[in-house]
Structure formats: structure tokens, C-alpha cells
């Protein structure tokens, strides 16, 4: 009985560092095709290889369009999937992966999903800020334009979400490009991005 335990202990010791060394590029390479429908696995592997060899990581995707891996670190990846969409992968600890898909057309709009290391979906409570949360105090002289801008944005709020390397932070940016010119000028001055940090259990506002 004791002799049988020795190989098991060796296997356990070997498995611990393997788990600790999970990198975002490995998850990108092993993702199901349904996660990146425009990119074949060979596309993804080629991009990683190009990037690690200091080459432009650009490939032809399934639609014969150009996809490019723009940034790659151990915990973060930014992929320009097409001219109208991007994908960001961000490791959160050693067991959770955040995927941000952003669609550009003409105003950016993002979708955030979470997965475990096997690409099974995970439900995570993510605070979705209200339109008014983005606004800084506005002087009385611009109150009317700001009120009109808020009403327009509340009718169809579009949020761009972005991740980053190094810190487990998501940044929410309220899109204002579709506003009328005067309203847009006010919004661009007084609408500020909001940031949330992952604390190991949930996203907390900064």
C-alpha cells in the first residue's frame, strides 16, 4: 500500500506547478471554436508564435479577413478579430478567465463573459453602472444640455468595456459619439470612465 502512494505523490507534486503556470496564451490556443468563430486553432497558434518571435501577429481568418494579435502577456491578450470587433482575455487568479468582446460599428459596445480553465461558463456578478454614475457635477450654465444628453444616453446606453495587463481591472466607458453636437461637447467634458477591480470574489468600484 505504501509503495503505491509514492507515484501518486510524485504526480500530485508535478501537477501543482503545472496549474500555477497557466498562461492566457495556453487558454487562447485551447479555446473551443465557438468562442472565436472567425479564428481557427491554427490561426491562434500562428498568432502566438509570431508574437513570441517579435513578428507582426497577423493572419487571414475564416472569412478571409485580417485578424491581428496586438498584445500578449502572461495574464492578458488583446486580439483585433476583424475591422469591427476585438476580443480581450484576462486571467483573474488561477481559476477564472474573463472574455471581453467589443463590437465597433460605429459606436463601441461590449459583452463580458467568464469561464473556468476548461472554458465552461461561470456566473459572476458584474456591476453594470447606470448612465448617471458616469457623470461628474455639471455647472448650472450647462445643466440643460447635460439633461438632454442624459436622456438620450439612457434611451440606448452603450458601454465599452476594456481589460488590461498587470492589474485585474475592468474599465467601463459610456459611449457618447451618437449625441447631438452640443450635448456631445458637454458629455465629453463631464462623462468619466468607471473602473472596477477584481478582489478574488467580486468586482469592486475604484
Label residue 130 by pLDDT band (50, 70, 90): very high
Q: Cell digits for 71?
A: 498584445
Please give the pLDDT value at position 10: 38
pLDDT tens by residue, 145-184: 999 999 999 888 899 999 999 999 999 999 998 899 999 9
Q: Is 101 in contact with 86 (CB distance < 8 Å)?
A: yes
pTM of the model: 0.86
The stretch 49-64 carries a mean pLDDT of: 95
Give the residue ranges of DSSP H helices in 37-79. Answer: 41-52
Q: How large is the C-alpha radius of gyration of the chain?
A: 21
Amino acid at each position: 500500500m505504501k509503495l503505491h502512494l509514492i507515484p501518486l505523490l510524485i504526480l500530485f507534486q508535478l501537477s501543482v506547478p503545472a496549474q500555477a503556470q497557466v498562461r492566457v496564451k495556453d487558454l487562447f490556443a485551447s479555446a473551443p471554436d465557438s468562442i472565436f468563430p472567425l479564428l481557427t486553432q491554427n490561426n491562434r497558434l500562428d498568432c502566438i508564435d509570431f508574437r513570441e518571435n517579435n513578428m507582426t501577429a497577423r493572419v487571414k481568418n475564416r472569412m478571409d479577413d485580417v485578424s491581428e494579435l496586438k498584445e500578449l502577456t502572461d495574464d492578458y491578450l488583446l486580439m483585433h478579430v476583424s475591422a469591427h470587433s476585438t476580443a480581450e482575455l484576462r486571467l483573474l487568479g488561477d481559476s477564472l478567465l474573463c472574455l471581453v468582446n467589443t463590437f465597433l460599428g460605429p459606436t463601441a459596445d461590449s459583452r463580458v463573459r467568464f469561464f473556468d480553465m476548461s472554458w465552461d461558463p461561470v456566473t459572476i456578478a458584474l456591476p453594470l453602472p447606470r448612465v448617471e454614475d458616469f457623470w461628474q457635477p455639471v455647472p448650472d450654465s450647462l445643466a440643460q444640455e447635460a439633461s438632454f444628453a442624459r436622456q438620450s444616453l439612457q434611451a440606448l446606453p452603450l458601454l465599452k468595456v476594456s481589460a488590461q495587463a498587470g492589474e485585474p481591472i475592468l474599465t467601463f466607458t459610456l459611449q457618447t459619439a451618437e449625441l447631438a453636437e452640443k450635448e456631445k461637447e458637454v458629455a465629453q467634458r463631464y462623462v468619466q470612465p468607471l473602473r472596477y477591480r477584481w478582489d478574488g470574489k467580486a468586482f469592486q468600484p475604484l
